[in-house]
Structure 1
Amino acid sequence: MSIIELEGVVKRYETGAETVEALKGVDFSAARGEMVTVVGPSGSGKSTMLNMIGLLDSPTAGSVTLDGQDVTGFSEDERTEERRAELGFVFQSFHLLPMLTAVENVELPSMWDTSVDRHDRAVDLLERVGLGDRLTHTPGELSGGQQQRVAIARSLINEPEILLADEPTGNLDQETGGTILTEMQRLTEEENIAVVAITHDTQLEEFSDRAVNLVDGVLHT
């Protein structure tokens, strides 16, 4: 069963007198334990599609189903709660706070949740991504690959069902990127998480269960 599904998703933006159709009837799904890569040139609609999957925006037409629930008409507050409960995000630029240590950065998304020991969970996640000896290091004291692994650990702090990755290897050399992709592949196999990544990097396809192409807002499977 799909954990996320887009059906006939259209997204239009009004820019002055012009209407831009970023997505043109996109059908897409991903299952738990599956890594799917969305490949396409700049301006093809990849980021817009990721925003639909990540509940950061609503479609102009079509539907979005998350874990069997139609979330298309959810309010902003409802979408925020679903993102917190179901989704993790990894970005090309890491988005770590420079004044915080690795473990503090990982703890951040769960700071309002007093029902769990977020510190112990953050430590465990950093150990799982090979950074058990870097807990008190700030981002400036870490390499690019180490920063991206901190970002992956942070994305998992709330135990998401889906990990969304926006150009996760874009700022990394090929060898370091391969290490990150191996870690993401491990998450699908051992944690049964669905990973959806958008990229220009063809290396990512080698680690994926399947790849789809988005060109001018049209998805080709």
Structure 2
Amino acid sequence: MSIIELEGVVKEYQSGSETIEALKGVDFYANRGEMVTVIGPSGSGKSTMLNMTGLLDTPTEGIVRLEGVDVSALSEDELTEKRRSGIGFVFQDFHLLPMLTAVENVELPSMWDTSVDRHGRAIDLLKRVGLEDRLDHLPSELSGGQQQRVAIARALINEPKILLADEPTGNLDQDTARTILAELTRLKTEEDIAIVVVSHDELLMEYADRTVELIDGVIT
């Protein structure tokens, strides 16, 4: 069974008197242990699709299922809990807090849960992404690639079922981008998670198990 599934998803926005159809009947799924890359030009609807996959937005029409369950009837609090416990997010701009160390940034999403050893898991995750010697460094003391690895470790702290990455290599040179993509490829198997990456960078196709192309709100 797919971890996440979009069925016939349409998303419309109002811009003045004009209706903009960002997604036009999208069907999509992702399974545990695979990386799916969604490519397409700017304005094709990739970010809107990622928001649907991450339960950050609701479709105008269609169904979003998480582990086979239609989430349309869930309350906002229930959706928040699903995102917190089941979905990790990695962004192009890292979004690390500048006053916190690497290990503190990784711990942040799990600070609500006192029943787990979040500090130990944060250290373990940073070691797994090759940053065991950067635990106490601030973001300003890390390279772009190192900051992205911290962001990946942070996204994994709550043991999500899905990792969503929005242009994760957009601010990186090609060598560093390849290092990050190789890291994601390894982690999808080790953590048994589904990874969905949206990008206009065709380099990601080399690392994906599947690639889908989104053009003008339609998967081709």
Give the TM-score band, short-chain normalised: over 0.9
Give 1:70-219 correspondences, 5 Å limit: 70-219=70-219
SS of equivalent to 1:2: coil
Helix, strand or coil for the counterpart of 1:183?
Answer: helix
SS in 2 for 1:33: coil
In the alignment, the residues of structure 2 paired with residue 73 and residue 46 of structure 1 have an alpha-carbon distance, to the nearest angstrom, of 24
Q: Structure 2: which amino acid aligns with 1:206?
A: E
1:52-71 to 2 correspondence within 5 Å? 52-71=52-71
- The aligned residue for residue 24 of structure 2 is 24
Q: Distance in 2 between matches of 1:63 and 1:187?
A: 29
- Alpha-carbon shift at residue 188 of structure 1 (Å): 1.5
Unaligned 5+ residue runs, structure 1? Answer: none
SS in 1 for 2:98: coil
Q: How big is the shift at 1:153? A: 0.2
Letter aligned with residue 81 of structure 1: E
Q: How far 1:191 sits from its partner (Å)?
A: 1.6
- Deviation at residue 73 of structure 1 after TM alignment: 2.8
| CA distance, structure 2, for counterparts of residue 85 and residue 5 of structure 1 | 18
Unaligned segments of structure 2, at least 5 residues: none
1:85 deviates by 1.1
TM-score (normalised: structure 2): 0.99
In the other structure, the counterpart of 2:9 is 9
Percent of residue pairs bearing the same amino acid type: 75
User: How many Å apart are 1:39 and its aligned residue?
Assistant: 0.4
Shift of residue 154, structure 1, vs aligned partner: 0.1
- SS of aligned partner of 2:192: coil
CA deviation profile, 1:160-198 (whole Å, cap 9, x unmatched): 000000000000000000000001001122221100000
TM-score, length-scaled by structure 1: 0.98
Distance 2:142 2:209 in 1: 30
| Structure 1 CA distance for aligned equivalents of residues 76 and 202 of structure 2 | 34
| C-alpha distance in 2 between matches for 1:124 and 1:34 | 22
State the aligned residue count.
220
